[in-house]
Amino acid sequence: MRKKDGLLIILVLLLLADTVYSFRQHLMAPLDGDMPSIILPAPHYEPVLSAPFGWSAATGEATYASPNRFFVHRAMYHYFRWAPAALNNFVEKVDSITLSSAIAKSGAHILLLLLLAGVASRGKGWSSFLLAAVLLVPLFQSAGYYNPVMGIIEPSPTYTFFYAWPSVLLLSWLALVRRAYDRGGAAPAWETLSLYALTLILPFTGPLIPGVIAVGWLTGAGYGFRQILGHTYETSVGRMRAKLPLSHWAAIALIGILGAYSLYLGTLSTEQQHSFGLWERYQKLPAGLWKMLTNKPGLSILILGILLQFGLLRWLQVEARKPWVKQEVRFLLVFILLYLLLIPLGGYRDYRPDVVRRDTLQPVLLILFYLWGRSSLLLFESARNKAAHVLPALGLLLLFTIADVTEVGHPSCQERTLRAMSQSKEDTTAISPDCRILTWPAIPGQDTRLSSELLVMWGILEEGQHFKYED
């Protein structure tokens, strides 16, 4: 066996081991308090399931919750009705529910990792791709110490559908545009069709996507204007036109229009809260960012690691660094700055008192992950004294790997409680409030009626049964 083949096998085994361990962590995560109202659904979510583009809300004919999130509501509604029923043919009812949740989370986890690794490795072959994935995988803090600030995959299944899965679609859209850009010519029909399908779906998925589209458009327009200032108009337009086919420029224009429309729809949602004005939200932003950087300093450590990698690349005079910084890194840093400044415009939520949290920062986290993966890969490929120059990267990866270690060897309290409920013959089952089932811990008085109805639909409880929390 060649040395290179052995290295590839080691990289694959490391990725498989982390995937299996992360799946176990996702399996232990609890079901959340928003699932019943979306899956049943509750009356206030019924209108969004039949209005893909929220036209009745836009014209003032109706008012309802989340008019710009049709596709993510539909996806979650159908998935958690179909997946447990399908898995129930092979496993017990309780296992079918927890497995459905873990599969949804692991799917988003794996796809985000692969998409980031693909962008970081730039199609340089399997060895670069696998190395990029190994460099990135410890940053996915599934349930460990740094999960509260770096949790791309949320413990909550609902938040996984509303944040991680839209990020998968967004990175897929960007990957299609990037492929056409690198190719510099016409794209295959399947790529163009996929691009337009995502263009229509993306603006009506997660809560962050319309804002990300708006910031991306603003940043891209500024970059294009700067290019025009540096050249004649005809030369600049000709160069941009040559990089992408006209169909892709049309898709970029369309997603910008639909993103703006979706932003407007979001302002019409009945879930909008106005307990704090815009200026008060901006006042909360610095304190919220400081907490994210200092309470559990995983994010600070990652940023310092990225800066160290960039410093080493510059000191080693790696040629690939210069065009990358000029063409991409500056663009991404401007995007981060604009995105952070516009977060308070998204409104205020009581469960997000500091305005920013790992969910609202997910686009920034993904960019930081990419910067880490790309800079580390360049360093690994270019360092003359590999043992010395890659040691900081290995140390950081070891730190994050250890930080993500959690207990996965025993059944969770959720699993034990669901099994006890499935065996109960009582009309009313009282359970401990220390183990919340389909309700939020932060809302101790949350009604369990809808949660009980969902458990009846899944076959855990029988018709007429319900559960409550012990006093």
Structure tokens at 81: 């009705």
What pLDDT score does 164 carry? 97
153 lies in the same domain as 174:
yes
What pLDDT score does 227 carry? 66
234 lies in the same domain as 379:
yes
378 lies in the same domain as 445:
no
d(CA 74, CA 442): 26
What pLDDT score does 382 carry? 79
Residue 377 lies in a domain: yes
Q: Are 86 and 93 in contact (CB under 8 A)?
A: no
Q: Are 31 and 160 in contact (CB under 8 A)?
A: no
Return phi, psi of residue 42, to 5°. Answer: -75, 155
112 lies in the same domain as 164:
yes
Residue 105 lies in a domain: yes
367 lies in the same domain as 430:
no
Domain edge (last residue) among 377, 403, 429 = 403
Task: Please state the rounded mean pLDDT for residues 93-103.
Answer: 97
What pLDDT score does 241 carry? 63
Helix axes 362-382, 165-183, angle to 10 degrees: 50
385 lies in the same domain as 306:
yes
Domain edge (last residue) among 403, 437, 455 = 403
- The residue ranking higher by pLDDT, 246 or 79, is 79
Residue 211 lies in a domain: yes
- In this model, does residue 234 exceed pLDDT 70? no
Q: What proportion of the chain, given as a percentage, has pLDDT over 90?
A: 70
Task: Please state the rounded mean pLDDT for residues 256-278.
Answer: 86
Q: Could you report the per-residue pLDDT of 280-329, keeping only the tens digit for each?
A: 899 999 999 999 999 899 999 999 999 999 998 988 888 888 899 988 99
461 lies in the same domain as 319:
no
Q: For residue 427, what are the domain limits? A: 413-469
Task: Please state the rounded mean pLDDT for residues 389-414.
Answer: 89
Q: Could you report the per-residue pLDDT of 181-221, keeping only the tens digit for each?
A: 888 777 889 999 999 999 999 999 989 999 999 999 999 88
Residue 2: count of CB within 10 angstroms of its CB: 7
Residue 57 lies in a domain: yes
Q: What proportion of the chain, given as a percentage, has pLDDT over 70?
A: 93
Structure tokens at 254: 């369309």
Task: Please state the rounded mean pLDDT for residues 131-148.
Answer: 93
392 lies in the same domain as 440:
no
397 lies in the same domain as 428:
no
Question: Residue 385's pLDDT band (boundaries 50, 70, 90)?
Answer: low
Q: Could you report the per-residue pLDDT of 274-290, keeping only the tens digit for each?
A: 567 888 899 999 999 99
45 lies in the same domain as 137:
yes
Number of domains in the chain: 2
Of 257, 172, 216, nearest to 342 by C-alpha is 216
Residue 408 lies in a domain: no
Of 340, 336, 338, 332, nearest to 285 by C-alpha is 340
Residue 276 lies in a domain: yes
384 lies in the same domain as 462:
no
Domain edge (last residue) among 354, 372, 403 = 403
d(CA 51, CA 38): 15
With H, G, I as helix, E, B as strand and everything else as coil, classify residue 397.
helix
- In this model, does residue 233 exceed pLDDT 50? no
Residue 67 lies in a domain: yes
Residue 107 lies in a domain: yes
Q: Could you report the per-residue pLDDT of 415-460, keeping only the tens digit for each?
A: 999 999 999 999 999 999 889 999 998 787 788 999 999 999 999 9
Question: Residue 387's pLDDT band (boundaries 50, 70, 90)?
Answer: low
What pLDDT score does 31 carry? 95
d(CA 211, CA 360): 10
What pLDDT score does 270 carry? 86
- The residue ranking higher by pLDDT, 383 or 336, is 336
329 lies in the same domain as 425:
no
What pLDDT score does 129 carry? 94
